[in-house]
């Protein structure tokens, strides 16, 4: 199959199988709004939808197309949790803050699944996710994660799987030594979700403009946001560019590192093959620093991703790197064709806690999801909408945390982090 591919879109399975049209108008005039959102990925679109449901006048500006960045290119895995180790923030947010973010880790899943049901969104939602151990030292981590979720009264079914169970029920691969199944998490078509949410927001009154890159922001009691051909005046501003913020706001730019992540998609697999390699149709992820993740699409392709790249340089041939990794897990796919290969940038923060908060009273931001963006972006959208509309101040638990600026500036921070990650990969 040939992917839809222009200068505007990456050549990916998602863009080739999108349900909705990509097209929104270019901003060519001066308009007013209650809230102006910069960024047309999950963060911006989810916030626009939440605010529109609350009756606010919203304008969203996207430099490319809706879902053009990580929201339309990611692995499509909807995975529980927010942040990686909340204990390190205890001195800042206390036990109450840790408990609040832990609860949001499950709430974020429900925000997505409830919205899909409420609006009947066609995005191939499939429940079922499994962390698996392909090294003995990772089995203990799975056991600890299971016990911690039980302690936190995680509201969805979970279970530990031994070697036979994980290989027979989840991953038909000899590399799987144990598994941790979570039926509250799962997988979906991320671009179709993002495009559908954008459309829903417009039916609720939001105005969305694509190909409308922001060139300048004049901050004040009323913010003026300039594009090449128009401008928006809004009391409240939301910055949701994440890995693609590209210097628009210096206070945020240095706190998120654009890291490359890459995926290949095979041709559709015959039933006897896909039912052998992923019999439960779970989304799956291993536990290494340079992790692999994979799942089946609705038409039974294997989508295999990984190779997180902190160097700032994309590989010349994504398939050449990922195909051998795929065969290490599933050697029976040796003669299977790869129809698509693509990549994009995800936003990595130094402490791996999402960066959600306010720069000043009327300017908010959300970025740095470190690979868990499908669920956490939607949690961020809800928190931002609650704060802007005055419903709750739950955003403060994130706003309290100070985020480090990556050393080395724009040109050296990626190589420096790449060296650090190489050190950690040595222990895998």
What's the CATH code of the domain at 24?
A: 3.50.50.60
Judge if 262 and 322 occupy the same domain.
yes
Tokens representing 317 are 């041939």
Integer Cα distance of 340 and 268 in angstroms? 11
Judge if 297 and 359 occupy the same domain.
no
In a domain, 1, yes or no: no
Domains: count for the chain: 2
Looking at residue 410, its pLDDT comes to 53
Judge if 234 and 268 occupy the same domain.
no
Q: Which residues of 43-114 form beta strands (DSSP E)?
A: 58-61, 77-78
Tokens representing 142 are 């799975």
pTM of the model: 0.93
Judge if 153 and 266 occupy the same domain.
yes
In a domain, 219, yes or no: yes
Tokens representing 62 are 């996207």
**Which residues are within 8 A (CB) of 426 and not within 5 positions of it... i.e. 6 or more apart?**
none
Integer Cα distance of 379 and 79 in angstroms? 12
Judge if 286 and 339 occupy the same domain.
yes
If one counts every other C-beta atom within 10 angstroms of the C-beta of residue 382, the result is 22
Looking at residue 120, its pLDDT comes to 98
Angle at 372 between CA 204 and CA 115, to 5 degrees: 30
Name the residue range of residue 372's domain.
Answer: 13-74+191-256+352-407
CA distances for 280 relative to 75, 161, 165, 299, angstroms? 18, 13, 11, 15
Judge if 336 and 280 occupy the same domain.
yes
Judge if 393 and 377 occupy the same domain.
yes
pLDDT < 70 stretches in the chain: 1-9, 310-312, 407-428
Looking at residue 4, its pLDDT comes to 34
Judge if 209 and 250 occupy the same domain.
yes
Q: The CATH number of the domain where 331 resides is what?
A: 3.30.9.10
């Amino acid at each position: 199959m040939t992917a839809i591919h222009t200068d505007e879109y990456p050549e990916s399975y998602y863009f080739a199988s999108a349900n909705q049209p990509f097209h929104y108008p270019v901003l060519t005039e001066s308009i007013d709004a209650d809230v102006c959102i910069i960024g047309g990925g999950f963060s911006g679109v989810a916030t626009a939808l939440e605010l529109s449901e609350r009756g606010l006048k919203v304008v969203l500006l996207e430099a490319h197309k809706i879902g053009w960045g990580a929201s339309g290119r990611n692995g499509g895995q909807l995975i529980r949790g927010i942040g990686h180790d909340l204990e390190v923030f205890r001195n800042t947010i206390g036990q109450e803050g840790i408990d609040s973010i832990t609860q949001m880790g499950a709430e974020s899943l429900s925000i997505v699944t409830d919205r899909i049901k409420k609006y009947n969104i066609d995005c191939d939602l499939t429940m079922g996710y499994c962390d698996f151990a392909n090294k003995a030292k990772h089995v203990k981590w799975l056991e600890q994660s299971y016990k911690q979720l039980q302690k936190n009264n995680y509201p969805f079914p979970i279970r530990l799987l031994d070697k036979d169970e994980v290989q027979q029920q989840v991953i038909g691969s000899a590399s799987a030594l144990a598994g941790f199944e979570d039926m509250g998490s799962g997988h979906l078509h991320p671009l179709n979700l993002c495009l559908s949410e954008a459309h829903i927001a417009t039916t609720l009154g939001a105005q969305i403009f694509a190909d409308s890159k922001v060139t300048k922001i004049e901050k004040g009691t009323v913010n003026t946001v300039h594009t090449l051909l128009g401008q928006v005046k809004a009391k409240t501003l939301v910055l949701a560019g994440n890995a693609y913020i590209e210097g628009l706001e210096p206070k945020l730019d240095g706190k998120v590192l654009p890291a490359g992540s890459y995926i290949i998609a095979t041709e559709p697999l015959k039933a006897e093959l896909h039912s052998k390699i992923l019999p439960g149709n779970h989304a799956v992820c291993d536990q290494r620093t340079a992790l692999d993740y994979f799942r089946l699409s609705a038409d039974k392709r294997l989508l295999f991703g990984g190779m997180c790249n902190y160097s700032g340089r994309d590989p010349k041939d994504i398939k050449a790197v990922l195909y051998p990794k795929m065969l290490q897990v599933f050697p029976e796919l040796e003669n299977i064709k790869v129809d698509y290969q693509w990549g994009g940038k995800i936003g990595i923060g130094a402490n791996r806690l999402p960066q959600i908060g306010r720069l000043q009273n009327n300017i908010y931001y959300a970025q740095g999801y470190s690979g868990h963006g499908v669920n956490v972006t939607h949690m961020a959208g809800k928190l931002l909408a609650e704060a802007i509309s005055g419903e709750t101040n739950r955003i403060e638990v994130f706003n309290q945390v100070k985020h480090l600026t990556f050393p080395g500036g724009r040109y050296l921070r990626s190589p420096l982090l790449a060296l650090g990650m190489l050190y950690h990969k040595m222990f895998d």
